[in-house]
A and B are shown apart, each in its own frame.
Chain A
Amino acid sequence: QSALTQPRSVSGSPGQSVTISCTGTGSDVGGYEYVSWYQQHPGKAPKLMIYEDTKRPSGVPDRFSGSKSGNTASLTISGLQAEDEADYYCCSYAGAYTYVFGTGTKVTVL
């Protein structure tokens, strides 16, 4: 069960949009509608940002959105803000009641 593949880093200026990809297989990302995304600031616990591929929990700004096509899920941050600088992880249900996380992406606000 290999980790899902994410780019190591993405960056953008305030107000711009960035997209983070998360590539898996048909046994995880492509096989279920259970991709979630987490934001993690240094030294802090992860925070749920997106669940069930595209849904946003209450309290998460609507500039965060999720999508999926085949075996690749994506998180887009529109109108990038300074406080969005953090590490982001995707996670997918991988069958047999197991879960797999992505390799993580560092978002830098220039």
Chain B
Amino acid sequence: QVALTESGPALVKPTQTLTLTCTFSGFSLTTTGMRVNWIRQPPGRALEWLARIDWDDDEFYSRSLKTRLSISKDTSKNQVVLTMTNMAPVDTGTYFCARLTGDGAFDVWGQGTLVTVSS
């Protein structure tokens, strides 16, 4: 059974760097075709795709946020880590990790973790 779980700080201060971890089970990021993504959702607003990392170490980022984002993986721990620099109040929201299929769909999602940016 495939599952993903996000973890990280609930509160960060403006200008700080956010580090979130996605711990997954039921698949391996060493398997060809596996991809893990980060997606966020401000309160009451729409989803926004942030970043993706593939089984072959390829990394892809949102064009509007790429200067602030970094994604990495630790296959021994079944984890994907997202860092976002220079956090601001507008970055407040729920951050989800999700698996991407070869059919271009996010088929399994974590429950999300709420991050509030405030001094």
Residues of A whose CB lies within 8 Å of any CB of B are 1, 3, 32, 34, 36, 38, 44-48, 51-52, 55, 57, 89, 91, 93, 96-104
Contact = CB atoms under 8 A, between A and B. Distances in A.
Given A89-B46, A91-B47, A52 B109 contact: no
Interface in B29-67: 37, 39, 45-49, 52, 58, 60-64
13 contacts: A3-B48, A34-B103, A36-B104, A44-B111, A45-B96, A51-B107, A52-B103, A52-B104, A57-B105, A89-B46, A91-B105, A98-B61, A101-B49
Contacts of A100: 49
Size class of the B contact interface (CB-based, 8 Å): 20 to 34
Interface in B94-117: 96, 98, 101, 103-107, 109-112
Interface of B: 37, 39, 45-49, 52, 58, 60-64, 96, 98, 101, 103-107, 109-112
B110 A45 contact: yes
Contacts, number: 71
Contacts of B64: 1
A36 B48 CA distance: 14
A45 B97 CA distance: 10
Given A36-B104, A46-B109, A52-B105, A103 B49 contact: no
